[in-house]
Amino acid sequence: MTERPYVLLSCASSIDGHIDDNTEERLLLSNDEDFDRVDEVRATCDAILVGANTIRRDNPRLLVRAQDRRQNRVTRGLPESPIKVTFTSSGDLDPEAKFFTAGDVEKIVYCPDAALDKCRDRLGGVATVVGVGEAVGLETVLADLASRGIRRLMVEGGGTVHTQFLTEGLADELQLVIAPFFVGDADAPRFVGPGSFPHHSGNRMTVAEVRQIGDVILARYLLRRPDEAGTDQ
């Protein structure tokens, strides 16, 4: 793959690696100061990607909140907020979800060709629906986003999506926030599932920054692209 956006993964996790619990209510892992930091990072990106399950479960708006940041983007000739991107195999997405209704920005849904008719019927009025063959491959999605001018992509979960970007070596940066508590439920969603990760004990990520933000800790890691030589041993 020759061209793809810079891919930044953003996630908040409990100390025991969970990004949610199994209750109906959304689990608040971060704090207001950190939400504002995330807002600042969002404002620097061209697109934000989440998995379909995060849309179904959290119903996020995924917009830049601060007025001055939105204005700054407009002054630079950009839309107020980054475009929104998701992918689905089932096509089970509600056009009334805030992902689709909030913000005057383009929304893109990638799906396998088999789900194209269903997705277009449901979402054609609120999103650009793109069929990408037999299955949705991340490299195909990233190449398509690059062709649409996306240079910097923020991936905001959930775990299935993070796992794919990390195992496929398609992430450049990980911004991981650790909340000061445990979830303690083995069945609660995790930051990542099992997999073959290019970054293991023999190929460690680089710590770019560690910052305390109120009661949470932000760790920022840089990941090598698989074609980059060398190990940290």
Least Cβ distance, residue 184 to ligand NAP (angstroms): 16
Half-sphere exposure of 10 (CA within 13 A, CB side): 23
Which of the ranges 65-73, 82-90, 122-130, 168-176 carries the binding residues for ligand NAP, by CB under 6 A?
82-90
Beta strand 173-178 with 216-222 is: antiparallel
- Determine, following the binding rule CB under 6 A, whether residue 8 of this chain makes contact with ligand NAP: no
Q: What are phi and psi of 99, to 5 degrees?
A: -50, -40
Q: Which residues pair with 12 in a beta bridge?
A: 177
**CB count, 10 Å around CB of 216?**
19
- Span 16-75, contacts to ligand NAP by CB under 6 A: 19-20, 29, 50-54, 57-58
| From candidates 89, 101, 206, 232, binder to ligand NAP by CB under 6 A | 89
Q: What's the CA gap between 2 and 6, in Å, rounded?
A: 12
Q: What are phi and psi of 219, to 5 degrees?
A: -115, 125
Which of the ranges 96-104, 159-167, 196-204, 211-219 carries the binding residues for ligand NAP, by CB under 6 A?
159-167
* Chain positions contacting ligand NAP, by CB under 6 A: 11-12, 19-20, 29, 50-54, 57-58, 87-90, 92, 136, 156-161, 164, 189
